[in-house]
């Protein structure tokens, strides 16, 4: 059986570690061999971060080969573009329409990229673009955008909805379980509209 | 302790697996100083173990505490990041001579690519230097199993044993089957002056003993099966150390593999493997430690010395991709047309350090010697106020060294935990030798960079319980500094005025910038709750 490779990218503090951990547990609970790799410490302080998740029958490397990722889950636009080279030729991008402009940016040398979705599509990738931040805000908590994006990702992966929901319940603070499940459901609805 | 999970297979972080392994091995003490990527080893144990779990003030003290527990006949785990071992090395080198009693495992986590470190040194050299064995796992399951094996080996040979991991082991999840928890060793503190007192009359004999143990270590390794050959008539081979094994497996069955998880070994192992192979790759994180050995036995060895693989940076699964025919077929390069802006890490919104740096920048010190922690980010835009960063505690000493050359208005910036770790001797030295420096202690009530672990200044232990509490002001006062001021960095104008005055003052002047990290209050409250529910399940109902 083929291995499925999912790369998460974003800005440290956006909830990438939680998102990749949820996916990892879903894969494991669904009977797959799974490995995940993440970064802690200095890198988490608002820097560019990635997490790798690989699942299948037999998985060795915890890191994805460049050019072999099936999915890129980008919680931020610039970080989506930055790690697009990890994708396989017909790879899929789930792009959160969120722009976090680096504080050290020098527009004369390297401006914040425009029209990231179009650029990714031009590279040949299928892009699901969603303003998860706005949806999350409407739900009353802008930090839910990672879970909304996971809802979209879930439509492409072979895990049951009850597996996803069980793992989310186990992974988020007790007080926020309900709102996280709502956010996840929103993401799934969006994806259903698109697929 | 979650004993109900015995025999269950769960998904575990490598660090957690090491912690679990130590608990299963029957430790009576776990001790560590926080450092990425090793931090979560102790955190896991603190949450899941009833016995003694300590954040030490630094790695040397941590290892010495572990040696004490070992002398009492108990098993002890001491974990740290790679550069922590530089601090602990003084204790390690002679502990290897003297030998230990109860099992002592030193879990050291290297950080290839220096994702969150000041260098990417390879701890295997320390194991060789100290003449102690080293085990190197390739995933979480092995991390747990090898921790247990390391304790057995440690007691069998009477030596500290190193478990060397890297970031992609520590901070990677993979499945682990949980085992039963061994009973702890009985308390057995016996005097053994010949092997506990490192004085000239003992050490040569102790050194000889250590040398004589080496053959036993090699034999144990052979019997352990930790180093295995998968060959069967293939033409190409990979010598894969630690995590190198999982990368080697990615390249398919046409490669013979020599899996190395244990040092020291008899070199015939390498000699036999390379024989007849037309191409041999060495996959190892860090320096070309193994490659140097392999090159003695074959001219076909490729790796970091021959130049195909970079010595800097982590291995990753792609290092051999370009050398393997057909591997990249069908791939295209997806680089954006324009260069992308970099995104270096920054101080969090609302961080007290950022306010302090605004004030410090305004008063224009001649030179600012920084230290290790979140506040090192003051070297980056927009602050660019930290002019040097070397290792834990070095800021104060470097500032003093500069000031002693006649430079005025020199500042040192050091965090509260780093100050306790190794800044105190530097402060005393600066006072004693009459330096003229401003020492800024950034007291944010936590080891923030690694996830807000508590410090002696907070008086909260690793388990979230009440511990002894140290006063920073009294500590500095007793070091004999000329003056101590405490400021709230959010009062920028007042802070500026005091910084300016103290930069121009003679002697060693301390300014404590005190405001908790924005995450600390929440984190510590959570820790207390967790400690109560995990360690004392009976209290849950209260």
Whole-angstrom distance, CA of residue B111 vs CA of residue B37: 7
Furthest-apart CA pair in chain B: how many Å? 76
Of B131, B118, B113, which Cα lies nearest the Cα of B211?
Answer: B131
Nearest CA in chain B to A78: B340
The average pLDDT across A102-106 equals 84
Res. B529: pLDDT tops 70: no
* Domain at A163, CATH number: 3.40.920.10
Residue B258 has which token pair?
Answer: 């020599």
A 16-45 residues inside an 8 A Cβ radius of B: 21, 24-25, 28, 33-45
Give the pairing of strands B262-263 and B9-13: unpaired
Cis peptide bond upstream of B37, omega within 30: yes
Place of tokens 């390498």: B270
Looking at residue B527, its pLDDT comes to: 61
Residue A170, in any domain of the structure = yes
A 169-188 residues inside an 8 A Cβ radius of B: none
**Highest mean pLDDT (candidates A137-151, B229-243, B472-486):** B472-486
B282 to chain A, closest Cα gap in Å: 16
Residue A88, in any domain of the structure = yes
Cis peptide bond upstream of B264, omega within 30: yes
Q: pLDDT (tens digit, 9 = 90+) per residue, B271-295?
A: 999 999 999 999 999 999 999 999 9
Q: pLDDT (tens digit, 9 = 90+) per residue, B223-264?
A: 999 999 998 889 999 999 999 999 999 988 889 999 999 999
Q: pLDDT (tens digit, 9 = 90+) per residue, B361-386?
A: 999 999 999 999 999 999 988 899 99
Residue A73, in any domain of the structure = yes
CB A60 within 8 A of CB A37: no
- Tell me which of A104-108, A136-140, A155-159, B11-15 is least confident: A104-108
Of B135, B138, B131, which Cα lies nearest the Cα of B106?
Answer: B135
Query: Is A75's Cβ below 8 Å from some Cβ in B?
Result: no
Looking at residue B328, its pLDDT comes to: 62
A78: chain B residues, CB-CB within 8 Å: 340-341, 343
Whole-angstrom distance, CA of residue B251 vs CA of residue B318: 10
pTM of the model: 0.95
Looking at residue B538, its pLDDT comes to: 38
Place of tokens 């929901």: A165
Residues present in chain A in total:
195
Looking at residue A106, its pLDDT comes to: 85
Sign of torsion, CA B349 B352 B357 B359?
positive
Looking at residue B466, its pLDDT comes to: 93
Higher pLDDT, A193 or A32: A32
Of A73, A77, A81, A79, which Cα lies nearest the Cα of A36?
Answer: A73
Residue A173, in any domain of the structure = yes
For A123, the 3-state DSSP assignment is coil
Looking at residue B541, its pLDDT comes to: 33
Place of tokens 């300016």: B500
Cis peptide bond upstream of B382, omega within 30: yes
Residue A107, in any domain of the structure = no
| Domain around A128 | 4-101+112-194
Q: Among B175, B340, B450, whose Cβ lies nearest the Cβ of A110? A: B340
Share of chain B above pLDDT 70, in %: 94
A13 to chain B, closest Cα gap in Å: 9
Q: pLDDT (tens digit, 9 = 90+) per residue, B159-184?
A: 999 999 999 999 999 999 999 999 99
Higher pLDDT, B144 or B328: B144
Res. B487: pLDDT tops 50: yes
Looking at residue B330, its pLDDT comes to: 53
CB atoms B36 and A42 under 8 Å: yes
A104: chain B residues, CB-CB within 8 Å: 341-344, 346, 380-382
Domains and CATH numbers, chain B: 9-182+194-221 (3.40.50.970), 228-326 (3.40.50.920), 352-525 (3.40.50.970)
> What average pLDDT is seen over chain A?
93
CB A72 within 8 A of CB A66: no
Please name the helix (run of DSSP H) or strand (run of DSSP E) that holds residue A82, with its range, or none. helix A77-82
CB atoms A119 and B336 under 8 Å: yes
**Strands (E) located in chain A:** 4-11, 33-37, 48-56, 69-74, 87-96, 126-130
B 106-145 residues inside an 8 A Cβ radius of A: 115-117, 139
Q: pLDDT (tens digit, 9 = 90+) per residue, A13-24?
A: 899 999 999 999
B273 to chain A, closest Cα gap in Å: 22
Identify the band that residue B520 occupies on the pLDDT scale cut at 50, 70 and 90.
confident
Of A38, A35, A49, which Cα lies nearest the Cα of A3?
Answer: A35
CB atoms A61 and B246 under 8 Å: yes
Looking at residue B88, its pLDDT comes to: 98
Looking at residue B43, its pLDDT comes to: 97
Q: pLDDT (tens digit, 9 = 90+) per residue, A47-68?
A: 899 999 999 999 999 999 999 9
The average pLDDT across B148-155 equals 98
A23: chain B residues, CB-CB within 8 Å: none
Query: Is B172's Cβ below 8 Å from some Cβ in A?
Result: yes
A37 to chain B, closest Cα gap in Å: 4
CB atoms B343 and A113 under 8 Å: no
Cβ-Cβ contacts under 8 Å for A166 (sequence gap 6 or more): A29
B 180-219 residues inside an 8 A Cβ radius of A: none
Place of tokens 């800021």: B395
Query: Is B171's Cβ below 8 Å from some Cβ in A?
Result: yes
**Total domain count for chain A?**
1
Of B420, B445, B438, B422, which Cα lies nearest the Cα of B351?
Answer: B445
Residue A106, in any domain of the structure = no
The DSSP code for A24 is: H
For B362, the 3-state DSSP assignment is helix
CB B279 within 8 A of CB B300: yes
Identify the band that residue B133 occupies on the pLDDT scale cut at 50, 70 and 90.
very high
Identify the band that residue B478 occupies on the pLDDT scale cut at 50, 70 and 90.
very high
């Amino acid at each position: 059986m083929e291995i499925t490779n999912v790369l998460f990218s974003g800005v440290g503090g956006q909830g990438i570690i939680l998102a990749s951990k949820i996916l990892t547990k879903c894969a494991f609970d669904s009977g797959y061999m799974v490995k995940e790799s993440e970064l802690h410490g200095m890198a988490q302080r608002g820097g560019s971060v990635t997490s790798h998740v690989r699942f299948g029958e037999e998985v060795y490397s915890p890191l994805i080969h460049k050019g072999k990722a099936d999915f890129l889950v980008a919680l931020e636009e610039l970080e989506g573009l930055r790690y697009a080279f990890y994708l396989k030729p017909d790879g899929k991008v789930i792009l959160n329409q969120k722009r976090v402009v680096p504080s050290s940016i020098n527009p004369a040398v390297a401006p914040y990229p425009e029209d990231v979705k179009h650029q990714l599509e031009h590279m040949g990738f299928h892009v699901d673009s969603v303003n998860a931040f706005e949806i999350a805000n409407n739900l009353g908590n802008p930090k839910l955008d990672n879970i909304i994006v996971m809802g979209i990702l879930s439509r492409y992966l072979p895990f049951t909805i009850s597996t996803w929901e069980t793992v989310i319940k186990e992974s988020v603070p007790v007080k926020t379980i309900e709102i996280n499940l709502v956010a996840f459901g929103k993401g799934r609805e969006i994806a259903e509209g698109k697929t | 302790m979650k004993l109900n999970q015995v025999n269950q297979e769960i998904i575990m972080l490598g660090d957690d697996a090491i912690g679990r392994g130590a608990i299963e091995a029957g430790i009576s003490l776990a001790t560590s100083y926080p450092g990425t990527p090793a931090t979560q080893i102790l955190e896991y144990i603190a949450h899941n173990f009833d016995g003694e779990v300590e954040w030490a003030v630094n790695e040397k003290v941590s290892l010495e505490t572990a040696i004490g527990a070992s002398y009492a006949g108990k098993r002890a785990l001491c974990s740290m990041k790679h550069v922590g071992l530089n601090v602990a090395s003084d204790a390690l080198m002679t502990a290897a001579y003297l030998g230990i009693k109860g099992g002592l495992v030193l879990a050291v986590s290297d950080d290839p690519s220096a994702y969150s470190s000041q260098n990417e040194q390879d701890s295997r050299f320390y194991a060789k230097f100290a003449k102690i064995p080293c085990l190197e796992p390739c995933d979480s399951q092995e991390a747990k199993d090898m921790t247990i094996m390391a304790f057995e080996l440690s007691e069998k040979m009477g030596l500290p044993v190193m478990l060397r991991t890297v970031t992609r082991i520590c901070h990677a999840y993979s499945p682990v089957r949980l085992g039963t928890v061994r009973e702890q060793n009985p308390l057995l503190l016996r005097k053994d002056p010949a092997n506990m007192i490192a004085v000239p009359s003992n050490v040569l004999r102790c050194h000889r003993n250590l040398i004589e143990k080496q053959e036993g270590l090699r034999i144990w390794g052979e019997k352990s099966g930790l180093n295995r050959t998968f060959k069967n008539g293939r033409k190409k081979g990979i010598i894969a150390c630690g995590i190198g094994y999982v990368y080697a497996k990615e390249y398919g069955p046409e490669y013979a593999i020599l899996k190395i998880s244990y040092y020291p070994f008899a070199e015939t192992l390498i000699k036999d493997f390379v024989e007849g192979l037309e191409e041999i790759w060495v996959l190892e994180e860090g320096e070309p430690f193994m490659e140097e050995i392999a090159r003695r036995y074959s001219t076909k060895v490729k790796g970091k010395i021959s130049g195909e693989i970079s010595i800097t940076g982590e291995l990753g699964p792609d290092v051999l991709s370009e050398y393997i025919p057909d591997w990249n077929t069908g791939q295209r390069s997806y680089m954006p047309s324009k260069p992308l802006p970099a995104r270096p890490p920054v101080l969090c919104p609302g961080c007290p350090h950022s306010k302090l740096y605004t004030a410090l920048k305004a008063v224009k010190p001649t030179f600012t010697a920084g230290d290790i922690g979140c506040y090192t980010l003051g070297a980056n835009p927009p602050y660019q106020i930290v002019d040097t960063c070397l290792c834990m505690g070095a800021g104060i000493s470097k500032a003093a060294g500069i000031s002693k050359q006649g430079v005025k208005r020199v500042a040192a910036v050091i965090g509260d935990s780093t100050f306790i770790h190794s800044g105190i001797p530097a402060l005393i030295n600066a006072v004693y030798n009459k330096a003229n420096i401003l020492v800024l202690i950034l007291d944010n009530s936590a080891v923030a960079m690694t996830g807000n672990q508590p410090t002696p200044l907070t008086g909260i232990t690793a388990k979230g319980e009440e511990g002894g509490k140290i006063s920073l002001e009294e500590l500095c006062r007793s070091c004999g500094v000329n003056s101590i001021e405490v400021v709230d960095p959010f009062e920028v104008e007042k802070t500026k005025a005091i910084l300016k005055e103290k930069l121009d003052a003679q002697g060693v002047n301390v300014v404590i910038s005190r405001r908790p990290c924005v995450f600390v209050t929440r984190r510590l409250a959570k820790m207390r709750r967790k400690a109560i529910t995990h360690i004392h399940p009976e209290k849950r109902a209260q």
